[in-house]
């Protein structure tokens, strides 16, 4: 028997919807809406990057601030401090190694932190991601003819367009 009241049920549904606002989904949806195509969770590459744009030579990690130990505001739980310290230090070390490997393989690597996708700073972060992709594209292809200009409000941001096929 379904014992949920309609209020409980809508609470339940909103929880499901909020799962769609996970940090990497924010980035993926935005990239998709801007016309970028990507692979997700690319297991063949070191560290399984969350988003890979092959033509741009770009790998993006969207990191949770706690598990990946975002330095600027890391706060450990008050119990088992040593355990958490070790665990997070290990995660960070592994992240660094994976990113170094990717760079050696010729990829441009970007880390986006969960806290950088909170509404007040989200737009700036997404613009930063696009600028990273443009730089990465140019570093890889180095062809000025492929650069178009897109304007955001008053500001003109150069954008690397993918070649037409």
Binding site for Zn ion (CB under 5 A): 65, 70, 113, 115
CB closer to Zn ion, 25 vs 65:
65
Q: Closest distance between Zn ion and the C-beta of residue 151, in Å?
A: 31
C-beta of 116: minimal distance to Zn ion in Å? 7
**Cβ 91 to Zn ion, closest distance in Å?**
14
Nearer to Zn ion, 66 or 132 (CB): 66
Instruction: Classify 104 in phi/psi space as left (phi over 0), alpha (psi -120 to 50) or beta.
Output: alpha
159: left (phi over 0), alpha (psi -120 to 50) or beta: beta
| Pairwise CA distance, residues 57 & 137, whole Å | 7
**11 vs 118, which CB is nearer to Zn ion?**
118
For CA atoms 133, 138, 143, 144, give the dihedral sign: positive
Q: Which H helix or E strand runs over 63?
A: strand 58-63
CB 29 within 8 A of CB 17: no
Of the two residues 61 and 113, which places its CB atom closer to Zn ion in the complex? Answer: 113
Closest separation in Å from C-beta 88 to Zn ion: 13
Closest to Zn ion by CB, 20 vs 71, is 71
Report in angstroms how near the CB of residue 114 gets to Zn ion at its nearest: 6
- Run of H or E residues at 152: strand 147-152
């Amino acid at each position: 028997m379904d014992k949920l009241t309609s209020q409980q049920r809508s609470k339940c549904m909103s929880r499901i919807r909020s799962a769609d606002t996970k940090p990497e989904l924010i980035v993926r949806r935005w990239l998709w809406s801007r016309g970028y195509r990507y692979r997700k969770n690319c297991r063949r590459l070191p560290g399984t990057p969350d988003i890979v744009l092959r033509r741009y030579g770009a790998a993006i990690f969207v990191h949770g601030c706690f598990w990946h130990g975002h330095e600027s505001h890391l706060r450990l739980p008050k119990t088992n401090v040593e355990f958490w310290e070790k665990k997070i230090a290990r995660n960070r070390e592994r992240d660094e190694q994976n990113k170094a490997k990717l760079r050696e393989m010729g990829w441009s690597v970007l880390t986006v932190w969960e806290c950088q996708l909170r509404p007040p700073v989200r737009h700036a972060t997404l613009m930063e991601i696009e600028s990273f992709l443009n730089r990465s594209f140019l570093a890889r292809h180095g062809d000025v003819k492929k650069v178009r200009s897109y304007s955001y409000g008053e500001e003109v941001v150069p954008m690397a367009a993918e070649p037409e096929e």
